[in-house]
């Protein structure tokens, strides 16, 4: 690859896609392609076919997906399954048909079984049943991983899948109906802090579950760096975990965010709500042995994320599904 390589980043306006775009721009890549969902509906096979025929990208990075937390996955299972299948099938197949030699498929650690041994190794894929609260999204992503593996096996193309752990960072989704746990906590603690400043009363914050599950979190700029590493190198295998290899309890996460935000009220845990998978820690040895590892500490990443959130209040509108 050279600095003029034509690279299409699907989902370039999202948290992941925009981070990859910033990384490539910073590295001097000047021939990047991005289309908004209004300009190109990735669920529409005809539209995607016409896009590939006219733009002829040399490299494709798939950061486009229908995403959300436990609530959204539970309430809209069909959309999470079907729309993700449509998006990735169109991108993978049209990339193959149009001789795209390098394709990076981005997924999620939810592809692994609910009760797989910890930490999660790449070979645990399809060894047991999935977490029911997000199996629809997971099944779609597994299909994408296997499609890339099949093209790699049958046609020898450099199609690779990167599976990040729980992501957070600037340009995240802070909508309380559809967001993941970390940005939802930032918003809840922030709004309670603002209310306290107005009323003088310490406002409690209610959070789902018991606080006992353990989770790993990766700053999105680190994922962008991993994607850049994968672009620069022809990695020997088809599937790589991307994470920090370190986790903490949801309770510890809440207390850390509470401190960074400056909220002083009580945290109330609603144990009637689901916890999800008890633990989800990634084994990142394979990527580390290839030459890449994460470098942003959680506290530092949350501070950057909260600063961005605070500076972009006008951008947050409730998402209609």
Q: Is 276 annotated as a binding residue?
A: no
Residue among 8, 112, 137, 228 flagged as catalytic: 137
Q: Is 107 annotated as a binding residue?
A: yes
Q: Is 13 annotated as a binding residue?
A: yes
Name 7's bridge partners.
32, 59
Q: Is 125 annotated as a binding residue?
A: no
Q: Is 209 annotated as a binding residue?
A: no
Closest residue by Cα to residue 182 from 302, 281, 266: 302
* Residue 20 to residues 33, 53, 61, 173, Cα–Cα distance (Å): 12, 24, 9, 17
Q: Is 15 annotated as a binding residue?
A: yes
Residue 158 exposure: Cα atoms within 13 Å on the Cβ side:
15
Q: Is 108 annotated as a binding residue?
A: yes
> Angle at which helices 77-97 and 135-155 pack, to 10 degrees?
10
Non-local CB neighbours of 302 within 8 Å, separated by 6+ positions: 168, 182, 186, 256, 257, 260
How many Cβ atoms from other residues are within 10 Å of residue 53's Cβ?
A: 11
- The DSSP line for 78-120 is HHHHHHHHHHHHHHHHHHHHTT--EEEEE--GGGS-TT--SSB
Residue 130 exposure: Cα atoms within 13 Å on the Cβ side:
18
Q: Is 188 annotated as a binding residue?
A: yes
Q: Is 167 annotated as a binding residue?
A: yes
In 215-249, where does DSSP find H-type helix?
220-232
| C-alpha–C-alpha distance, residues 71 and 76, integer Å | 9
Q: Is 165 annotated as a binding residue?
A: yes
Q: Is 215 annotated as a binding residue?
A: yes
Q: Could you confirm whether 137 is annotated as catalytic?
A: yes
Q: Is 109 annotated as a binding residue?
A: yes
Non-local CB neighbours of 210 within 8 Å, separated by 6+ positions: 269, 271, 275
Q: Is 161 annotated as a binding residue?
A: no
Q: Is 243 annotated as a binding residue?
A: no
Query: Could you give the 3-state DSSP secondary structure of residue 302?
Result: helix
Q: Is 12 annotated as a binding residue?
A: yes
Catalytic center residues: 137
Residues at the annotated binding site for NADP(+)? 11-17, 106-109, 141, 164-167, 180
Residues at the annotated binding site? 11-17, 106-109, 141, 164-167, 180, 188, 208, 215, 275
Residues at the annotated binding site for substrate? 188, 208, 215, 275
């Amino acid at each position: 690859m050279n600095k003029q390589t034509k690279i299409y980043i699907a989902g370039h306006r999202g948290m992941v896609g925009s981070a990859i775009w910033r990384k490539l721009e910073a590295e001097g890549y000047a021939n990047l392609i991005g289309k908004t969902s209004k300009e190109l509906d990735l669920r529409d096979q005809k539209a995607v076919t016409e896009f590939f025929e006219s733009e002829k990208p040399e490299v494709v990075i798939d950061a486009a997906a229908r995403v959300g937390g436990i609530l959204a996955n539970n309430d809209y299972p069909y959309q999470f399954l079907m729309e993700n299948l449509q998006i990735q099938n169109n991108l993978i197949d049209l990339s193959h048909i149009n001789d795209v030699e390098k394709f990076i498929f981005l997924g999620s650690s939810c592809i692994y079984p609910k009760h797989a041994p910890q930490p999660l190794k790449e070979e645990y894929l399809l060894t047991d049943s999935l977490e029911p609260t997000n199996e629809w999204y997971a099944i779609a992503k597994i299909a994408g991983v296997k499609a890339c593996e099949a093209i790699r096996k049958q046609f020898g193309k450099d199609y690779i899948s990167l599976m990040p752990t729980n992501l957070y960072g600037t340009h995240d989704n802070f909508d309380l109906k559809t967001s993941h746990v970390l940005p939802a906590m930032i918003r809840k603690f922030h709004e309670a802090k603002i209310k306290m400043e107005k009323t003088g009363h310490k406002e409690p914050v209610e959070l789902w579950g018991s606080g006992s599950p353990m989770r790993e979190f990766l700053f999105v700029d680190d994922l962008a760096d991993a994607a850049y590493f994968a672009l620069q190198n022809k990695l020997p295998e088809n599937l790589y975990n991307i994470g920090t290899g370190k986790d903490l309890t949801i309770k510890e996460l809440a207390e850390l965010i509470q401190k960074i935000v400056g909220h002083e009220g009580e945290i109330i845990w609603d144990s009637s709500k689901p916890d999800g998978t008890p633990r989800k820690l990634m084994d990142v040895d394979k990527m580390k042995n290839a030459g890449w590892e994460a470098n942003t500490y959680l506290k530092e990443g949350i501070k950057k994320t909260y600063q961005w959130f605070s500076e972009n209040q006008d951008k947050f509108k409730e998402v209609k599904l």
